[in-house]
Structure 1
Amino acid sequence: MNSLNPSRPLALFGLLLAVLCWSGNALVARAFAGEIPPFALSFWRWSLALALLLPFVALPLWRHRQQLKAAGWRLLLVAGLGIAGYNSLLYSAAQTTAAINITLVNTCLPLMTFIGAGLLLGEWPARRAWWGMALAAIGLLVLIAQGQWSRLASLSFNRGDLIMLLAVADWALYSLLLRRWSGYLHAIPPLALLGVLILLGVPLILPFYLYELSQGAHFASTPSNLAAIAYTAVFASLLAYLAWNHGVKVIGAAKAALSNYLMPVFTALLGWLLLGEGLQPYHWAGATLIFAGLLLATRPGKA
């Protein structure tokens, strides 16, 4: 990618914005795990996002119906992965695993995407990008261990972690297919593309939500529950997905995936700003290593 590309700074900013929104989404998933069942949160999140977006994309979708027809089954597969699959799996994992485990399993995303980019797209990242990924991964381990490496040995894993691993694989494939089928998908305006993906994704979630209801899993329409759904619909869905899709388009799926390492950094910052939780030296050390790794990995060039 040309270093003079004016879209690059905007794409990088968009990736940071997406991860910030998803850090809040992870907090919501954990905070409301006992209040809102996973498929209920996923279904109503995307249903609200669709209701907000549809008035703005109905006409563009009609105008681009030929492009939509050409994309065909590819749209359905991408919607199944990115809309129906990933978030439902994440919310399900949050029911039975700890926050630190979700963060740790998420470290698999850049590696999965790096290897997938080479196998599916023929875009093997440069050596510098691998070094950047390794540096960012060390920074993430500093955060997880809280500066005490013995903490890593005490970590335990359970069923929720396996679900989260599936979620990570799901998201890696979603990002790679966005890139692989860019000739089809990016012929559709970004807002309209997101609209059609949600339109296809919501019916895919519905059977699982109905089954969840049949098992007696309900939630109360309290102000806090509705606010949580509203946040996930507006920020973690509409804003974050638009920003992420643009970032993948401009800088590629593999490099975009590295921004995932920033999630624990942003989570710590949100905890400091919203919950009054103090920032410790290991937060700064881990964040510095992660940012250095991202800058190294995403710097234009071939070396």
Structure 2
Amino acid sequence: MKASLYLVLATLFWSGNFVVGQAAVASMSPLDLTFWRWTFAAVPLLLLAHFVEMPDWRAVLRRWPVLLLLSVLGMSGYTLLLYGALGLTSAVNAALITAANPALIVVLAIVLLGERTTRLGWLGICLGLLGVLLVLSRGELQRVFGLSINTGELMMVGAVIVWGCYTIIARRLDVPVISATAVQVAIASVTLAPFALALNVRLPATPAEGWSLAYIVVFPSLGAYLFWNLALKTTPPGTAGNYLNLIVVFTALITVTLGTPLTLVQIVGGVMVIAGVLLTGMKVRAKPPVRAASTLGS
């Protein structure tokens, strides 16, 4: 019961990142948010890893080449694309596109790793893809073929692809999850610093910006990772992965609560995406998901 609560809280915090991030990018750049998010989260995450997992830091740092690659993909690339997309599309659409991530990871595993799936799994992949296309085209699928899709939604598709590649690489990383995440965050802060200096990255200038950044640092960057990994101590990763579907639900609920109604296309597309993910999750369990792939990075 406690593990379920942890998983719900983690997905709720990640959902808030979509809504708060969308509000924040109205006045702050994606680089502002990404750089300060990881800079302020780095030390607390390293301390969290040290006291929760007590890793052999020398052994962890010996994996620096792959940790650097993962940081560039998952911490810098994904996050920059996410916040860039949120400046051009709605939080609900971004969350719906992200919900297709598990199906994309299955496809990448089939293509890159030679893994197999069942007919039911392929049905789920196709259903989820159709749901995403429905959202991207706003119910007019001919827009997909006419390439008249919102730039922000295309950026979100790019973010999902980047995260899929991140997950495929991370699933074979033999480093404790929080420690791997903490090192990647620290690397992201360092590698983004030259760009931050060159492009005059600024700290929040208003109370609204400050509170937005504080939420992003404390809840999706620290709290969500802590709760997620505490839950994984007693919950199979595959079971925990199903809770990620709550991100779409929570994002939609938060959006509606704040006064933005959902469209019929978003509702239908969301149901299709979630159903597709559930069908995909019913495929072969021969290779259970590795915990390193469970760090959502939203």
TM-score, normalization by structure 2? 0.73
Q: Deviations over 1:60-111 (max 9, x none)?
A: 788512421442311111122111221022223334x222764676477455
Distance 1:282 1:169, change over 3 A: closer
Aligned to 1:250: 237
Match of 1:298 among 268, 272, 281: 281
SS in 2 for 1:125: coil
Aligned to 2:192: 205
Aligned residue runs from structure 1 range 47-86, under 5 A: 47-58=39-50, 63-86=55-78
Distance 1:285 1:17, change over 3 A: farther
SS in 1 for 2:199: helix
Structure 2 counterpart of 1:297, one-letter code: T
The reply on whether 1:30 has 2:22 as its aligned counterpart is: yes
Structure 2 counterpart of 1:54, one-letter code: L
SS in 2 for 1:180: coil
Displacement, 1:48? 1.7
Distance 1:116 1:261, change over 3 A: same
Aligned to 1:170: 162
Aligned residue runs from structure 1 range 205-224, under 5 A: 205-213=192-200, 218=202, 220-224=204-208
Displacement, 1:45? 0.9
RMSD over aligned Cα atoms? 4.1
- Give the structure with the larger helix fraction: 1
The reply on whether 1:98 has 2:85 as its aligned counterpart is: no
Aligned to 2:290: none
Displacement, 1:175? 1.0
Distance 1:23 1:45, change over 3 A: same
Aligned residue runs from structure 1 range 1-303, under 5 A: 14=7, 19-58=11-50, 63-95=55-87, 97-99=88-90, 102=94, 106=98, 109-110=101-102, 112-140=104-132, 149-150=139-140, 153=143, 156-157=148-149, 160-181=152-173, 184-185=174-175, 188=176, 190-213=177-200, 218=202, 220-241=204-225, 243=228, 250-251=237-238, 263-273=247-257, 275-278=258-261, 285-299=268-282, 301=284
Displacement, 1:12? 12
Distance 1:54 1:13, change over 3 A: closer
Q: Quick one: distance in 2 between partners of 1:57 and 1:13?
A: 17
Q: For structure 1, which runs of at least 5 residues remain unmatched after alignment? A: 1-8
Q: Deviations over 1:270-291 (max 9, x none)?
A: 1123x14456766665554444
Judge conservation of contact 2:31–2:196 (CA < 8 Å) in 1: yes
Q: Quick one: distance in 1 between partners of 2:155 and 2:123?
A: 29
Q: Deviations over 1:21-48 (max 9, x none)?
A: 3332222232122311211111111122
Q: For structure 2, which runs of at least 5 residues remain unmatched after alignment? A: 287-298
Displacement, 1:207? 1.7
Judge conservation of contact 2:124–2:280 (CA < 8 Å) in 1: yes
Displacement, 1:13? 7.8
Judge conservation of contact 2:99–2:274 (CA < 8 Å) in 1: no
Displacement, 1:228? 0.9
Judge conservation of contact 2:89–2:150 (CA < 8 Å) in 1: no
Distance 1:42 1:152, change over 3 A: farther
Displacement, 1:297? 2.3
TM-score, normalization by structure 1? 0.72
Judge conservation of contact 2:41–2:222 (CA < 8 Å) in 1: yes
